[in-house]
Amino acid sequence: MWHKLQELSQQPAAVFFKKLIGDPVQLYAVFLVTTVMYYYQSDMTWLYTVLAVFISWLMMRFYDFVARHKWIGPLTYLVYLFAGLEIVGMITNYGRKDYPISFMVWFLTPQSVVTFSAWYTISIYFLMLGFLTSAVYYFSKIQYRISMQFLIMLIPLSLYAKEGIHMPALLVIILLASYFLLMIYCRQLRNTDKIRYMPSFHGSMSIAVYVLVFSITAAIIPKPAIAADREFIENAMSYSTWSDVLMNAISMFTDSTDNTFGTSNNARTIYYVASPEALRLRTQTYSYYKADDTWNVIREYDYPDKEYPTGGMTYRPKDGLQAILDAALQDENFAETYQLSEVKDTVLLNQDLRTVFTCCIYYPVQVLPSPTRTVFTPRGTQLKISDTNTFGGNVSDWTQVQYYSDTYARYQNVQPILQKFSSENYLSLLEDAEKILAETAPEEAALLAEMQQEYQEAYQYLNDVQEQDFESEIIKNIAEEITAGFTSDFEKAKAIENYFLQNNFVYDQSYQKPAGSNAEYFLTESKTGVCYEYATAMVMLCRSIGLPARYVQGYNLNQMYEANFRGRDCNYIIKARDAHAFPEVYISGYGWLSFEPTVPSMELLENQYAENQNVTKLGFALLGFAALAGIIYFLLPRIREKLFQKRLLRMTSAESAAAVFRRMRHILNLPESTTVKELSEQSLPFFKEQAVFDALDILLYSHVPETETVVMTPQQIAQQYQTWLENRVQFLKEQAQKQKQEAKLNRQKQKTQKA
């Protein structure tokens, strides 16, 4: 079998193919480039890889020339280097004409927040191809440094790590396999008693088996879940500090924001949190929306300049609902007028005042995330009642904020009550309820007066923002269609929130929407986007039907993290990738309430699951291939032996003698120059029948005519050959057993001497 494969490997096509991709150094460089280009343009990775094979082959030949010539080589390399940089510069300048940012800004900024640039991508391709092939060649064929090769491998990995982007498992396996192949190829083999140098063909087969076993193991064996905090590793591989601040944190201090918010997947930790529940935490609101798909602030609403009062800044929604129910219990006409008779006897569950602690550890972000209905904080002199909640304290200190949870509005005994309130008559309801309770429950009457003020401020806010908002009849028609048949504010808002989940909207961080598109395009055409699009669309839908709503940026508490940090137990951690956008809507009967219209990224999860499944299937396919190859490897010699012995019977005596002689010589690993006498001498330890060798000598060298009586027939030759084989197998077994016994005796002898 090996001889056949060797013969095939000498064919012109095989020789050319081996020259083209047979160098592990070149393959490693090609796969490094493949990994990089998958990050920049995944759909064209195959083309970049094919081109890299041919271009890198030419580069390797050029590097060989440079390495062979002491003086002219380095000079030629300098010319090549400057010429390459000049060509890349020309390509980059050409791309700059039609692109709004410079190449370096585009390169350092996470690709998820910039639009695709073909010319910049080509520049990256040639830069990476030139740099990676040079570095890999130098540290393998000039100065062999496997540790440097490992550091080179971290270059493409860092591109994915800086955004937390998922690298396909198949790419990881290919990259690591090529790295191991490079290590095996470059290590120096020495002939010693314990290390035997193998011919190149057999050595290549051993390496192929090793790489195959590694690939199968990596694909099939389940990967362990790492429970430890990987922040140090992730941050060590993240080189986009300035771009994260640019794309995420800076939007919290500016007067406008766009859909770049919340698209970075950086793993940098910003806050440690101790919270009684998962929360949506707000850091900034933006009030009015423009047709160019940007949100802008109204300073009166988004940056109010007043401090937290000592007694609190908001009422408890449960107390407001209870006051209305008490009015309904006291006045039957009031209950019937506002359709509260069915719910007036409801016993409301208590709404606890909860506390969330946050500790900012990332100094550029001096923003205190807080829930929607924040009440007060003991650090009232340092915090301001603003939607940015900026504070001037030590960013490393724990800060506590008390709030009433939004989940209360979703309770089963609360929702039927909220479904009775509509903005059309809510103000008159509050006024009537205040009059009913003025004498019997003055505290509740005062609370109802506060609720009236909140209602009036909310609708004044709606009027103010609509004067500057982008108007769309299409969005208004969609909102009216969604909310048809609903009368309460809460039902309308819930219907809009559920609309995205029920109508095949897709969450996709990699999606790049066309320039100039806005919420209208998202609702009618693409139905694809991130939290920015969903929050924006819900705000505009609510406003179009008369519900006050505002766009909010902040963070989601997604990642559980049990630890003691700076003297306090925390249970959540906020990273830059947890940045989130969501809407807040004013709901009659409750007040400002946050919603979550963003659909879960099921497609991403399904794709990852499908990819893992595909990798596992590939692993099992490789395992099947390896098993089949192993079966063939062990059975093929036996099958070939049986077929050979059958062919002997159909040959002439001279032909069978020649065939048996070649086969014996091959089995004993003897050269082609071996004579029958030398073969006989090599066979003496296990085969004493000299007659068969005499017959072979006569048949091979005496040219006996077939018409004459021959010394041995083909059947006899086949029988003698079979006996020779069996004797050899038995002899090898006896030798192996003898070696084991000798080794055992030597060990016993050594133990006796030591004793």
Domain that holds residue 684: 651-754
Q: Based on the number of CB atoms within 10 Å of its own CB, is 538 exposed (0-12), middle (13-18) or buried (19 or more)?
A: buried
Distance of alpha carbon 112 from alpha carbon 105, whole angstroms:
13
The contacts of residue 503 (CB under 8 Å, 6+ apart) are 527
Distance of alpha carbon 280 from alpha carbon 553, whole angstroms:
9
Distance of alpha carbon 248 from alpha carbon 253, whole angstroms:
10
Residue 495, in any domain of the structure: yes
Point out which residues pair with 643 in neighbouring strands: none
245 and 147, same domain (yes or no): no
Q: Are 311 and 402 contacting, i.e. CB atoms less than 8 angstroms apart?
A: no
675 and 591, same domain (yes or no): no
Query: How many independent structural domains does the chain possess?
Result: 3
Q: Are 410 and 363 contacting, i.e. CB atoms less than 8 angstroms apart?
A: no
Residue 683, in any domain of the structure: yes
Domain end point (choices 139, 167, 195): 167
Domain end point (choices 557, 581, 600): 600
- Hey, what are 678's tokens? 């030398």
Distance of alpha carbon 134 from alpha carbon 130, whole angstroms:
6
379 and 478, same domain (yes or no): yes
Nearest in space to 153 (alpha carbons), one of 125, 130, 180? 180
- Hey, what are 125's tokens? 């391709």
Residue 213, in any domain of the structure: no
Flag residues of the chain having pLDDT under 70.
1-11, 13-15, 100, 109-115, 161-166, 187-267, 303-313, 362-367, 376-396, 601-619, 622, 703-710, 755
Q: Are 27 and 137 contacting, i.e. CB atoms less than 8 angstroms apart?
A: no
Distance of alpha carbon 617 from alpha carbon 219, whole angstroms:
8
Q: Are 594 and 539 contacting, i.e. CB atoms less than 8 angstroms apart?
A: no
Distance of alpha carbon 49 from alpha carbon 37, whole angstroms:
9
- Hey, what are 134's tokens? 């040079």
596 and 662, same domain (yes or no): no
Q: Which residue is it, tokens 């208004």?
A: 476
User: Is residue 289 within a helix (H) or strand (E), and if so which, with residue range?
Assistant: strand 288-289
329 and 446, same domain (yes or no): yes
Nearest in space to 584 (alpha carbons), one of 314, 383, 250? 314
Sign of dihedral through CA atoms 239, 243, 244, 249? Answer: positive
Q: What is the pLDDT of residue 191?
A: 44
The backbone torsions φ and ψ at residue 3, rounded to the nearest 5 degrees and listed phi first, read -65, -40
Residue 188, in any domain of the structure: no
Distance of alpha carbon 555 from alpha carbon 552, whole angstroms:
10
466 and 355, same domain (yes or no): yes
User: Is residue 269 within a helix (H) or strand (E), and if so which, with residue range?
Assistant: strand 269-274
- Hey, what are 670's tokens? 């003897």
B/e letters for 206-241, b = 16+ CB within 10 Å, e = fewer, are: ebeeebbeebbebbeeeeeeeeeeeeeebbebbebe
- Hey, what are 529's tokens? 């986007």
Q: What is the pLDDT of residue 269?
A: 79
Q: What is the pLDDT of residue 645?
A: 84
The contacts of residue 95 (CB under 8 Å, 6+ apart) are 103, 117, 118, 119, 120, 122, 123
Distance of alpha carbon 21 from alpha carbon 257, whole angstroms:
49
Residue 209, in any domain of the structure: no
Residue 612, in any domain of the structure: no
Q: What is the pLDDT of residue 210?
A: 56
Q: Are 436 and 333 contacting, i.e. CB atoms less than 8 angstroms apart?
A: no
Residue 595, in any domain of the structure: yes
pTM of the model: 0.54
Nearest in space to 283 (alpha carbons), one of 562, 585, 507, 574? 574
Q: What is the pLDDT of residue 584?
A: 94
Q: What is the pLDDT of residue 564?
A: 84
583 and 681, same domain (yes or no): no
Query: Dihedral angle at the C-alpha atoms of 261, 263, 269, 274, nearest 10 degrees?
Result: 70
**How many C-beta neighbours within 10 Å does residue 701 have?**
11
| AA identity, residue 698 | I
**How many C-beta neighbours within 10 Å does residue 432 have?**
19
Distance of alpha carbon 359 from alpha carbon 563, whole angstroms:
13
Residue 698, in any domain of the structure: yes
**How many C-beta neighbours within 10 Å does residue 453 have?**
11
pLDDT tens-place string over residues 355-365 = 999 888 765 55
385 and 517, same domain (yes or no): yes
The backbone torsions φ and ψ at residue 356, rounded to the nearest 5 degrees and listed phi first, read -120, 130
Domain end point (choices 574, 600, 626): 600
Q: What is the pLDDT of residue 242?
A: 36
51 and 121, same domain (yes or no): yes
Distance of alpha carbon 403 from alpha carbon 353, whole angstroms:
6
What are the CA-CA distances from residue 42 to residues 28, 38, 107, 606 (Å)? Answer: 19, 4, 16, 18
574 and 670, same domain (yes or no): no
Distance of alpha carbon 560 from alpha carbon 576, whole angstroms:
15
Q: What is the pLDDT of residue 510?
A: 75
Q: Are 475 and 525 contacting, i.e. CB atoms less than 8 angstroms apart?
A: no
| AA identity, residue 674 | T
148 and 260, same domain (yes or no): no
- Residue 642 CA neighbour count, 13 Å, CB half: 4
Nearest in space to 718 (alpha carbons), one of 659, 668, 676? 659
112 and 261, same domain (yes or no): no
What are the CA-CA distances from residue 489 to residues 1, 17, 448 (Å)? Answer: 80, 70, 18
